[in-house]
Amino acid sequence: MAGGQERELYNFLFHDELSPFFSQLKPAATDSAGDRHGLNQLEPPPFLSFTDVLRGGPMADYGAVARALGLSAPPPDVLGSGGTRPAKELMVDVGNAGNSLTSPGGGGVTNPATPNSSISSSSTEAAGDEDGEKWKKDQLKQEEEVEKQQAKGDEEGGEHKSKKVNPPRKKGDKRPREPRFAFVTKSEVDNLEDGYRWRKYGQKAVKNSPYPRSYYRCTTQKCSVKKRVERSYLNPTIVITTYEGKHTHQCPATGRGSTHLFPPSPALSFSQDFVMQQIMQQVNGNNMQAGSINPNLYLPPPLQQMQFQDYGLLQDMIPSFSNDDNQPRDI
């Protein structure tokens, strides 16, 4: 991967789509006076461990987020501080993080004790209990429908090749969203190497943006993880990668002697795997013993994370991400 060392990575945790995230950026935010909202403003508070972050830690409330982002009261030393950060991360739970791909009771690879699970509950709550209930109902309903459809399909003798036959959903049946995680990455390349293999299945123009959004699916059979990749139109060096779903397999990269010493533990969600990989890259770059790092206990200083739990909040926050002026290129 070309941009491995040349990027700043921002991971966010928030609800709902990323699209409005950048599409609503105001160009005006890029003027020089707006520097205080630049990416370099994203100086999170001290150290957050993954556990902290994923459990809805210190960044969970708007005030903290806003402060950290310099929306209202930026820390005086945020600009250009920490000159040698190879990467910054903010992790965004982009949606139904509470609904693990592995269905409740489905066992699967989900470890109920994973930080991810913790996020989900808190973020789901943040999203609103009603929605949560609704989703559960929808899912149950959909499962029933799917079963019916499958039974019917079997009787009728298989797949007919009309479009849109795959999702046998009824009108009004909302498709349940997978847990989603967005990573905002400063990178030259769109398709960031995350160890998995992806096949592009679509591309759409993004409203208010000259840059298209690409849709990828994990090429591994039976793995339904998807990701979307788009660029910020205000800051083309920023790539927003949104992962949806959970890998049901090990990371191919780790299977063939990748430099990441992290085992693709099924206990970690794919997103965490990814974050871990990013961390390990950073860690390795800092002459640290990757194998000695416990992801739950240690977050390398170069990686600083924030968690946002409210989509509306994100929208408010976005302008602070839009301005790339005088962004520190601390590579």
Binding residues for DNA, rule: CB under 7 A, are 17, 19, 23, 161-167, 169, 171-175, 191, 197-207, 213-216, 219, 226, 228
DSSP for residue 163: T
Nearer to DNA, 174 or 329 (CB): 174
Nearer to DNA, 212 or 328 (CB): 212
DSSP for residue 84: T
Nearer to DNA, 81 or 208 (CB): 208
Residue 253 corresponds to which tokens in the numbers above? 């990269």
Nearer to DNA, 23 or 114 (CB): 23
Nearer to DNA, 105 or 172 (CB): 172
Burial of residue 32, with CB atoms counted within 10 A of its CB: 0-12 exposed, 13-18 middle, 19 or more buried: exposed
Give the shortest CB-211-to-DNA separation in angstroms: 12
Give the shortest CB-94-to-DNA separation in angstroms: 9
Neighbours of 6 (CB within 10 A): 16
Q: Answer positive or negative: Cα dihedral of 288, 292, 298, 303.
A: positive
Give the shortest CB-95-to-DNA separation in angstroms: 9
Give the shortest CB-315-to-DNA separation in angstroms: 13
Give the shortest CB-312-to-DNA separation in angstroms: 12
Nearer to DNA, 23 or 327 (CB): 23
DSSP for residue 241: E
Q: Helix, strand or coil for residue 201?
A: strand
Q: Indicate the pairing of strand 307-308 with strand 91-93.
A: parallel
Q: Indicate the pairing of strand 180-186 with strand 198-205.
A: unpaired
Q: How far apart are CA 52 and CA 119, in angstroms?
A: 10
